[in-house]
Amino acid sequence: MHNKIKYVFIRWLSLLLSILILFVFITLRIRVVVFEFAKSSAKNILINASNKAVLTVLKDNDIKYDDISRIYRDSNGNVSDIQIDTTKINTLKALINNEMYKLTDSNDFNIKIPLGSLINNEFTSGMGPRLNFKMSIAHTADINYKTAFVDAGINNVLHQIIIVTDIDCSVLSFGTTRSFSFKNEILAAESVIAGAVPDSYTSVYETDPNEFADDVFNYGK
């Protein structure tokens, strides 16, 4: 009798352990899938916010290429220097940052994942009813700028000023928090520069909140 009870106990214990292991396995598997969906959704939300923030600030302040960049020419009409107005750029960076946080003021979002996708099988992906999961986003954005030169024909160069947003993001979903980083670039202004151009130009940019330095960009071949 004692051996029978012991045998039944061991069987039930083995069954419970098997169920527990299966539950942990499924939970971990689902967490991976949920995080990938949450990461993709969070990235799309922040990219859209970043793009909209830049466009809104540029439109509201009527910013054009000539407002943030100045071209100098020599006596022969050739381009001798191109300078970026760092004061206006820094103002734009602050405005864009504030606008972006306004657009992402609500940190809680919902994502819907098909049941078939949670199984993480290529044959069931996208199938079945959609299950609702809540997620929270916390992020920081470091906004800078860069310039680019694109060949626009004989003696013509397209000068572009690009806003670069480096975003660090943490996503809380399905009881776990994970972090990731990505970069978003938005064209702020551009202009075709006609005439001979120098092999390099000097632009002053802010490398530290309390100091400025010269950065030489070489684009001549």
pLDDT in tens, 78-120: 788 888 888 888 899 999 989 988 887 767 777 777 766 766 6
Structure tokens at 214: 């010269």
- Indicate whether 207 pLDDT > 60: no
Structure tokens at 161: 């000023």
Q: Whole-angstrom Cα distance, residue 70 to residue 82?
A: 6
pLDDT in tens, 163-194: 999 999 888 876 778 888 999 999 998 888 88
pLDDT at 198: 55
Residue 129 is given by DSSP the state P
Q: What is the mean pLDDT of residues 142-149?
A: 88
- What torsion, rounded to 10 degrees, do the Cα atoms 98, 100, 104, 105 define? 10
pLDDT at 212: 40
- Indicate whether 210 pLDDT > 50: no
Q: What b/e string do you get for 36-50 counting C-beta neighbours within 10 Å, with b at 16 or more?
A: ebbbebbbebbbebb
Distances (CA, A) of 35 to 31, 115, 141, 147, 204: 6, 15, 21, 35, 41
